[in-house]
């Protein structure tokens, strides 16, 4: 299956990156490769793009698109952006610097909708929401071993779920009878616990799956580790652009940029998608874009 993914606020990202012909840029979260391909075309054949992703399927998909479009200036690495410095220096050497970087912290539509992966609550698949093989915090262990309070915390903090405690309680009760091993089993427990009158326009399992994915992959921790490395790898006046989709992510980015004397914040308030973009791509609705330049 081909990745189908519309990069959010692409025009704004490219404008804020201030692409230089022949420049060197980094896409720390390859995903559907939308930003990577646009940057590679914008900087021309003498420029270089380094793109990373934990998901091997994202790498394979990008390789096909790069070949189809005849681009020769993109380096792809499967890895976690929390290891940004190690990845960049391995490819370009210890003194490597970049003219700009972009992080898109959302999952691609392909990842969210692929029922073969544990990210989706459609179908019945093993409870496995790890982005890549190096992730060992198995989702099935979280669901079956975390305490009531631990589950409540992640559902509330990462899923922003109002019924976090009640859903956590239902999971703890259900697993006393048998382990919860599949997405369908978990969905059934969640649906049974949430009264119809409390259901929103989104599926009742959406926020719980988001929380489990974020806990499995330690997404906020990785972001906090990646940001200072990104700044250290930027040239003077280099641009850092981050698109987030979760309030916790946005708080980390906002605090990092605001409290850092080494950067000048370009976006005093986060940019958000236009109404037209949200209508065309509903997944963009919660996106916030922040950007800064290195002093």
Q: Where are the domains of the chain?
A: 10-110+219-294, 136-217
Quickly list H helices, the chain. Answer: 10-17, 34-43, 56-69, 84-92, 109-113, 139-145, 148-157, 164-177, 183-193, 206-217, 219-233, 247-258, 275-280
What's residue 231's pLDDT?
A: 97
- Comparing 8-17, 121-130, 145-154, which segment has the lowest mean pLDDT? 121-130
Q: Which fold has domain 136-217?
A: DNA polymerase; domain 1 (1.10.150)
Provide the pLDDT for residue 190: 94
pLDDT score of 133: 65
Mean pLDDT, residues 160-168: 94
**Across 114-118, 182-186, 269-273, least confident range:** 114-118
Give the strand pairing for 24-27 and 263-265: unpaired
Q: What is the distance between the alpha carbons of residues 245 and 247, in angstroms, rounded to a whole number?
A: 7
Has residue 57 got a pLDDT over 90?
no
Secondary-structure breakdown of the chain: helix, strand, coil percentages, each rounded to the nearest 5:
50, 15, 35
Q: What is the mean pLDDT of the chain?
A: 90
Q: 265: part of which helix (H) or strand (E)?
A: strand 263-265
- 215-261 pLDDT, tens digit per residue, is 998 999 999 999 999 999 999 999 999 999 999 999 999 999 999 99
What's the CATH number of domain 10-110+219-294, 3.40.50.150, 3.40.50.720, 3.40.50.970, 2.30.140.10? 3.40.50.150
Q: Which DSSP letter does residue 226 get?
A: H
Q: What letter does residue 103 receive in the DSSP assignment?
A: E
In this predicted structure, what is the pLDDT of residue 239? Answer: 98
- The answer for residues whose C-beta is within 8 angstroms of residue 22's C-beta and 6 or more apart is 43, 44, 46, 47
pTM: 0.89
**pLDDT, mean of residues 42-69:** 94
> Tokens standing for 291?
């950007």
Return the pLDDT at 109: 46
pLDDT of residue 49: 98
The closest alpha carbon to 38, from 272, 229, 30, belongs to 30
pLDDT of residue 174: 98
Q: Helix, strand or coil for residue 237?
A: strand
């Amino acid at each position: 299956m081909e990745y189908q993914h519309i990069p959010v606020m692409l025009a704004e990202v490219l404008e804020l990156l201030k692409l230089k012909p022949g420049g060197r840029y980094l896409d720390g979260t390859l995903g559907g490769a939308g930003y990577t391909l646009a940057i590679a075309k914008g900087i021309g054949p003498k420029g270089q793009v380094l793109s990373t992703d934990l998901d091997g399927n994202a790498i394979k998909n990008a390789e096909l698109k790069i070949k189809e479009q005849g681009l020769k200036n993109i380096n792809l690495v499967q890895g976690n952006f929390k290891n940004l410095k190690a990845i960049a220096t391995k490819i370009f050497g210890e003194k490597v610097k970049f003219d700009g970087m972009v992080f898109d912290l959302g999952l691609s539509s392909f990842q969210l909708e692929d029922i073969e992966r544990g990210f989706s609550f459609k179908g019945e698949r093993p409870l496995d929401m790890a982005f890549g093989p190096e992730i060992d915090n198995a989702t099935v262990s979280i669901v079956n071993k975390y305490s009531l309070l631990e589950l409540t915390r992640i559902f509330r903090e990462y899923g922003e779920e109002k019924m976090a405690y009640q859903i956590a309680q239902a999971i703890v009760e259900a697993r006393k009878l048998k382990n919860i091993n599949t997405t369908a089993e978990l969905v059934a427990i969640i649906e049974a616990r949430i009264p119809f009158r409390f259901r929103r326009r989104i599926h009742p399992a959406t926020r719980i799956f988001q929380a489990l994915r974020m806990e499995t992959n330690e997404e906020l921790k990785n972001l906090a580790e990646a940001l200072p490395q990104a700044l250290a790898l930027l040239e003077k006046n280099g641009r850092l652009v981050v698109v987030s989709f979760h309030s916790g992510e946005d708080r980390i980015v906002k605090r990092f940029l605001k409290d850092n004397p080494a950067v000048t914040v370009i976006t005093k308030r986060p940019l958000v998608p236009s109404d037209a973009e949200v209508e065309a791509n509903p997944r963009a609705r919660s996106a916030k874009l922040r950007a800064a330049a290195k002093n």
